[in-house]
């Protein structure tokens, strides 16, 4: 089986991710950082973008260069919507992201996607087939939280009890 590059290995919309990560620091209402202070909290926007791009195949694996660039731009626009805090609970955006992850997993494992790809069916597919996200330094819980939001099974671990217990699935 040939190695398939992931989107994170080729390109990311860093300007949008950095902008939303910086903006997150000023959010106070409804943001998880208000529940539990942690000295080295990772921005949720960056965690969400990195997890998505780590799980989605780069279009260059299957498409000619021009078509791959166009598809990569579509995925970048999805990431730009995905990293906005206002969209963190938007089921339409999350479903679109989960569907892209499911497509990559189905291709990789030779499986068929659910038909029709309803949000519930895609989430069930991901719960069964998505790789676990292991975070040995869970700290404030940004990576496990976002892995769970994108329908992966997070396994956080840390030497501090409070953040670890707050991130257990």
* pLDDT for residue 3 is more than 60: yes
Query: How far is it, in rounded angstroms, from Cα 30 to Cα 132?
Result: 27
* pLDDT for residue 166 is more than 50: no
Peptide bond into 14 cis (omega under 30): no
From the centroid of its chain, how far is CA 115?
23
103: left (phi over 0), alpha (psi -120 to 50) or beta: alpha
pTM of the model: 0.84
For residue range 29-69, what is the model confidence (pLDDT) as tens digits? 555 555 555 555 678 899 999 999 999 999 999 999 999 99
Give 32-82 as a DSSP string. GGGTS--TTPPPHHHHHHHHHHHHSBPGGGTS-HHHHHHHHHHHHHHHHHH
């Amino acid at each position: 089986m040939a190695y398939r590059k992931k989107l994170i290995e080729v390109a990311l919309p860093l300007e949008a991710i950095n902008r939303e990560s910086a903006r997150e620091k000023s959010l106070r209402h409804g943001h998880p950082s208000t529940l539990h202070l942690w000295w080295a909290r990772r921005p949720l926007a960056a965690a969400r973008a990195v997890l998505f791009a780590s799980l989605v195949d780069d279009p260059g694996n299957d498409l000619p260069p021009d078509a791959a660039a166009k598809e990569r731009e579509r995925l970048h626009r999805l990431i730009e919507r995905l990293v906005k805090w206002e969209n963190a609970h938007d089921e339409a955006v999350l479903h679109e992201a989960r569907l892209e992850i499911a497509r990559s997993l189905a291709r990789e494992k030779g499986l068929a996607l659910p038909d029709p790809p309803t949000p519930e069916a895609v989430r069930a597919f991901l719960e069964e087939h998505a790789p676990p996200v292991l975070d040995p330094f869970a700290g404030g819980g940004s990576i496990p939280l976002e892995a769970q939001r994108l329908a992966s099974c997070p396994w956080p671990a840390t030497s501090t009890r409070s953040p670890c217990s707050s991130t257990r699935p």
